Amino acid sequence: MQTRTLGQGLQVSALGLGCMGMTGVYGASVDRSQMISLIRAAVDRGVTLFDTAEAYGPLVNEELVGEALAPVRDRVVIATKFGFDIDPATGQRGPGVNSKPAHIRAAAEGSLRRLGTDHIDLLYQHRVDPEVPIEDVAGTVRDLIAEGKVRHFGMSEAAPTTIRRAHAVQPVTAVQSEYSLWWREPEKELLPTLAELGIGFVPFSPLGAGFLTGKIDQTTKFDSSDFRACVPRFSPDAMQANVALVDLIRSVAVRKDIAPAQVALAWLLAQKLWVVPIPGTTKLTRLEENLGSVDVALAAEELREIDEAAAKIDLQGARLPQAALDMTGH
């Protein structure tokens, strides 16, 4: 497995593993023992970055990841997140975000306990709290780093101006946001900011929550417990328009004799050397397929061809429900 370097010298595998979907976000939860085996299979194949959060479950995803990685704790980077109004003891979730310093500390202690570790390698603020100065948030994480409980500070779905303010207090190692051929908004302001500040970028939903794999179309029916059932861009009308992007990706895949998902991930990896996507999966075959993208080389001419063709496609539908969008970009 190739490696890449995020901010502050943090070295990780070129592709990480997003673990959110292992505890039910895409419908019913998958067998726990199978997910532990899958995480360990990822380690065996060279993956070193594993992404979780207290909000996933809530709480149970961290327990799963912690148990799976306990035998190889010294070989991996565990990333988790705070920032929603969740009771770290009970999992009871409030209506919004919470990055008050005392809450950050309680969340970090809860994560350490559930992960079964004495330190968190990369601690993200999951969503910016407009009620708490970002300097106070960064200062609290800085203190946790000084205490040895956290090693690196990350931010998720934050605006460039907010990232700059936080970075001035505690250097930011990585920023998470959605980024793929289906959602390229980060290219306008976020990526240039990260390049300037020396911060790594960890795209989530690099396969468009499964859409870019070519396995989903306007006839797909989502279970009511699957979050995609209420996402505008997964409505039948939107997908009917957006399938043009999948057709483009598939055409490249056929020509190179690889899977569409590998084209989508290879495109992301080709954007910047400090971009580390974290596709999620619950299947070993998909894990191996995704990891194969690291060895896919897209020539400059192929990248240009993809960009030019994608620019002509009028993509439809918001990437998240409005309530979720309201929590981003602060």
Residue 16's closest CA among 297, 262, 283, 275?
275
Pull the structure tokens for residue 44. 């065996």
Q: How far apart are the first and last CA of the chain?
A: 35
Cβ atoms of 178 and 204 within 8 Å: the answer is yes
Q: Out of 26, 56, 124, 179, which one is annotated catalytic?
A: 56
Alpha-carbon 277 to chain mean position: 7
Cβ atoms of 295 and 288 within 8 Å: the answer is no
How many angstroms separate the CA atoms of 70 and 294, rounded?
A: 26
Alpha-carbon 110 to chain mean position: 21
| 56 included as an active-site residue | yes
My answer on whether omega of the bond before 192 falls inside 30° of 0, hence cis, is: no
Q: What's 127's DSSP letter?
A: S
Report the catalytic residues. 56
